[in-house]
Amino acid sequence: MPDERRPRIGVCAALERARWTVWDREALLLSRAYIDAVQGAGAVALMIPPDGWVEQHPADVLDGLDALMLAGGADIDPGSYGERRHHCTTNTRPERDRAEIALALEALERDIPVLGICRGMQLLNVARGGTLVQHLPDDVGHGDHRRALGSFDDADHDVRLEPGSLAAHACGELLHQTKSHHHQAVDALGEGVVASGWSTLDGLVEAIELPEARWALGVQWHPEVDPRSRVVKTFAGEAADTLIGA
């Protein structure tokens, strides 16, 4: 990576009600694991709030960034992909969806690296016109993709990756052990989106990519909490190459 500066990776933050010290207010939140993973990969992490200005002016944000990470979080509003709400779809924030869709589309237009993690993978698919399964137990008959709420304990399962795919390159293998925590998933693929990873539990799509893009990958699992994973490091390396080529 160049000595003059590290690549700057924007990480989309959630808008949630939170408590800290004496306060109980709405806050912009992001698990420290995302920041640690980006910094550990040799890049600078910059949080992006989901506000109306970002939605209308995504270029203003991306002008200062070398890559975009769409992080995990609450369910995507089904109105974003034209469907009615399932009773298990909760805690949606349409303003976050709109801002991140705008950012994702602008990042793809600029051809800078994009990594979607869990919700971020789903958002990337929705941004390209795809849809989601709103509650997996209804479709696959089990809850093994989210075994313990708020925990990655006993959350490991394998994902089979397509040979020669970006997902396989990012993971460095064709059978990748993952840490999972989700109850929704990609259903119909968006325009230009291809599946490149499938759960060995039930064949669920767990990796997507856009072959026409320079580097655009979505993973349904959480590489940021897995010290064995090289996904974030590979992504940050691509961001560094973007910087070098500027």
Domains and CATH numbers, the chain: 8-244 (3.40.50.880)
- Annotated catalytic residue, options 12, 118, 157, 181: 118
Q: Which amino acid is at 174?
A: L
**Angstrom distance (rounded) from CA 47 to CA 178:** 25
- As given in the structure block, the two tokens for residue 22 are 């004496």
Specify the residue for token string 């990958």. 217
171 is catalytic: no
Are residues 116 and 124 in contact, defined by beta-carbon separation less than 8 angstroms?
yes
Q: Which of 116, 113, 7 is nearest to 67 (CA)?
A: 113
- Annotated catalytic residue, options 176, 182, 183, 222: 222
Whether the predicted model's global pTM rises above the 0.85 cut: yes
**Angstrom distance (rounded) from CA 194 to CA 211:** 8
142 is catalytic: no
118 is catalytic: yes
Give start and end residues of each alpha helix (H) in the chain. 32-40, 52-56, 58-62, 94-110, 119-127, 136-140, 166-171, 231-244
pLDDT of 102-122, one tens digit each?
A: 999 999 999 999 999 999 999
- Annotated catalytic residue, options 100, 106, 224, 238: 224
pLDDT at 51: 87
**How many helices and strands (H and E) does the chain possess?**
8, 13
Are residues 120 and 218 in contact, defined by beta-carbon separation less than 8 angstroms?
yes
- As given in the structure block, the two tokens for residue 195 are 């599946």
Q: Which residues of the chain have pLDDT under 70?
A: 1-3, 244-246
pLDDT of 226-236, one tens digit each?
A: 999 999 999 99
